[in-house]
A and B are shown apart, each in its own frame.
Chain A
Amino acid sequence: MDTQNTFRIGTGAGFSSDRLEPALDLIRLGRLDAIVFECVGERTLAFGHRDRRADPKRGYNPLLERRMRAVLPLAQAAGTRVITNMGVANPLAAAQRTVEIAAELGLKGLKVAAVTGDEISHLIGPDTRLLEPGCRLSETGREMLAANAYLGIDAILPAIEAGADVIITGRVADPSLFLAPMAHHFSWQLDDWHTLGAGTAVGHLLECAAQVTGGYFADPGHKDVPDLAYVGFPLAEVTADGGAVITKLEQSGGLVSQRTVKEQLLYEVHDPSAYLTPDVSANFSQVHLTDDGQDRVRVNQADGAARPKQLKVTIAFDGGFLAEAEISYAGPGAAERARLAGDIVAERMDKLHGSNAPIRIDLIGVSALHASAVDYPATAQDVRLRCAMRASSEAEAEMLLWEVEALLCCGPAAGGGYRGHVTPSVMTYSAFVDRGDVQPHLEILST
């Protein structure tokens, strides 16, 4: 392969709490042009807003400082551009903190860009139509905390053109974080839908890091993965047509196979012929995979059509408090004792405390994750009762914890191992806004 015309891009994180050392290995050994840390989901964006509310200087990824401290010196030495949405709900504060860290480390001449403009709560009103509940915002009866539009490559490209070494965004469509540096390198036009669709497929395959290199895949005896404890993160060797080879470092654990690539290609995809991002409507339905050596899979023939006219928005609402409390029962009759304990909690919350928030009762080991769908044969003799409730007040949430803890003395025989916690809860719904109403903004800081 003509390496002059290959763009090497890797993944440094596929979710907010992803591992760090596979990213450092990739920067050291991967000869990367760019590395992307993708750290925002519906859940983590909501947490970001919660954190920023508590402290206006926070709201970025809680691992930003640890990651930047380790990544910046290596990336500067390797000449690898770092692109990340670790800004979450506060990209500017994240960029400021990154510049401080770079200065502490003595890194000179580092340009750090903050891409903002995704926070668009000013465009959202009581009449805004929410997609999933299918109602107007005012009908939810909940307080809006924030609203973030998914930005695309047009928000990131100016930062690359300005020569930023580190680009920190908030809500950006995950594949766009990868597509932007590819599009810049190969000078792809913003209406070259075919190539942008192909590049989006590559970005989509990379965006969850280890999920294409053997993570979220192993099923012993059916799908075995070598050295999963040290699973490597992926890199792509992208060519000018948007095709790529997906691979990983030889020294790392995990595997890249057509199977791992197929599973990730459809991950969180709805219509495979119309995967909508702010950049393109990508078509994965005709993707062609071929083996290209050990842990190398070539991806071709993804396509694309014109980008959507509207941008998707995630709107976060105050969701009250999530209470979760657990206690264990083991030995003969464990499931019956756990069930009795659960009934007691539900009875007392309803009749004694007048709580009308629905309580979920799980018997972990018997029936929990699939409780509402499947009746598995109950043979377990080591069962954990879990009671969960979303309450509008912290006091009501605490009451559930008290009731479960009180089972220690007042409940069925031989219950132990109580744990409970209350977490402030944020709920999210989606809506659309017109693209023209959203104005991305760039700020560049440097050491």
Chain B
Amino acid sequence: MSIRVPLRQIAHARSGDKGNRSNLAIFVYAPEHYEALRQQVTPERLQTNFGGVLRGPIKCYELPNLHGLNFVMDQALEGGVNESLNLDGHGKSWSAMILALEIDLAGIT
């Protein structure tokens, strides 16, 4: 049986920009959710769900002591803050976009 919850319920995130590269750090509130985050929120999943804007390679850095992941996403800002025509040229709202993903907590209490 799966227990699907929005990521926003178990994690918090912040995104930032450098040029046309966006980074997004995401941390679980409870350490016991870290493994589910690590296994289910992957570069492949971000690319599949948000490929329209996350257009380049995505790399994930694991931070087990902080119970978080740092995604570094190339060509992810429609050109970057001085070039993009997006109102949010910094991609500040990318963190909120990704917190809408669902995560399965089956087997985790």
Contact = CB atoms under 8 A, between A and B. Distances in A.
Interface in A280-310: 285-289
A429 to B, nearest CB: 7
A8 interface: no
Contact of A369 (B82, B83, B87): B87
B18 A268 contact: yes
Interface stretch (A55-63, A69-77, A165-173, A385-393): A385-393
Contacts of A271: 61, 72
Number of chain B interface residues as a range:
35 or more
A360 B79 CA distance: 13
B8 A268 contact: no
B86 interface: yes
A272 B61 CA distance: 7
Interface residues of A, number: 52
Interface string A408-447: 0000000000000000011111100000000000000000
A272 B63 contact: yes
Nearest to B100: A374
B88 to A, nearest CB: 4
B25 interface: yes
Interface in B66-84: 66, 68, 70, 72, 78, 80-83
Contacts of A368: 87
Interface string B77-106: 010111101111000110001001000000
A259 interface: yes
Contacts of A222: 8-9, 12
A420 to B, nearest CB: 14
Contacts of B82: 42-43, 46, 319, 425-428
A264 interface: yes
12 contacts: A42-B18, A217-B14, A222-B8, A269-B70, A270-B23, A270-B70, A272-B61, A272-B63, A358-B85, A370-B97, A374-B50, A428-B19
3 closest A-B pairs by beta carbon, nearest first, are A266-B25, A268-B16, A360-B85
Given A42-B80, A266-B63, 14 more contacts: A132-B20, A219-B12, A262-B27, A262-B66, A271-B61, A272-B63, A272-B70, A370-B53, A370-B97, A372-B53, A373-B52, A373-B54, A386-B87, A428-B19
